[in-house]
């Protein structure tokens, strides 16, 4: 989908995005990223996937940040973040996702603390989401 190689040719931060790819994917409704272990951040161009309804990110061990452009995914109904142990925080723009009905966060210890009701730093950003599941466990 996009080139996640850094200047040394290693998979890395995901900052090198083939801009010609995004217009071709505007009708994409589901995106799953599984086991992209060297990915440190999603490219901001993901915000251009305006038809995206489901986003799943699983076992991306080095993922640290999600871009603020995620707040542009106006059709996003479900966001699943599983096994992203270095994911530091949710982007503030997540509060703009009024269509978001489901947020599942599992095995993301830094997020678990930030998303706890009522005092977690990210709780105000997600309190509008009807179906929230936040846990360190593997089971739903």
101-115 per-residue burial string, b: 16 or more CB within 10 A, e: under 16: eebbbbbbeebeebb
Give the whole-angstrom CA distance, residue 57 versus residue 60: 7
Q: DSSP alpha helices (H): ranges in the chain?
A: 21-24, 109-114, 123-126
Q: How large is the average pLDDT for residues 9-13?
A: 43
User: pLDDT by residue (tens digit) across 32-63?
Assistant: 999 999 999 999 899 999 999 999 999 999 99
Whether pLDDT at 98 is above 80: yes
Joined tokens for residue 17: 């995005």
* Beta bridge partners of residue 57, listed in sequence order: 33, 81
The region of weakest confidence among 44-48, 62-66, 77-81, 93-97 is: 44-48
* Confidence at residue 26, expressed as pLDDT on a 0 to 100 scale: 83
Under 8 Å between Cβ of 78 and 55: yes
* Confidence at residue 10, expressed as pLDDT on a 0 to 100 scale: 45
Q: Which domains does the chain have, with CATH numbers?
A: 26-135 (3.80.10.10)
DSSP state of 66: -
Per the model's pLDDT, the better-predicted residue between 17 and 70 turns out to be 70
pTM score: 0.84
């Amino acid at each position: 989908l996009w080139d996640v190689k850094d200047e040394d040719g290693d998979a890395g931060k995901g900052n090198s995005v083939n801009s010609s790819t995004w217009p071709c994917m505007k009708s994409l409704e589901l995106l799953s990223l599984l086991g992209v272990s060297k990915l440190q951040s999603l490219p901001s161009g993901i915000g251009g996937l305006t038809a995206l309804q489901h986003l799943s990110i699983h076992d991306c061990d080095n993922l640290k940040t999600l871009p603020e452009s995620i707040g542009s995914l106006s059709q996003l109904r479900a966001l699943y973040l599983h096994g992203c142990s270095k994911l530091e925080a949710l982007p503030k723009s997540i509060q703009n996702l009024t269509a978001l009905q489901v947020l599942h966060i599992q095995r993301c210890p830094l997020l678990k603390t930030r998303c706890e009701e009522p005092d977690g730093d990210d709780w105000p950003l997600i309190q509008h989401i009807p179906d929230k599941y936040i846990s360190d466990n593997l089971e739903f």
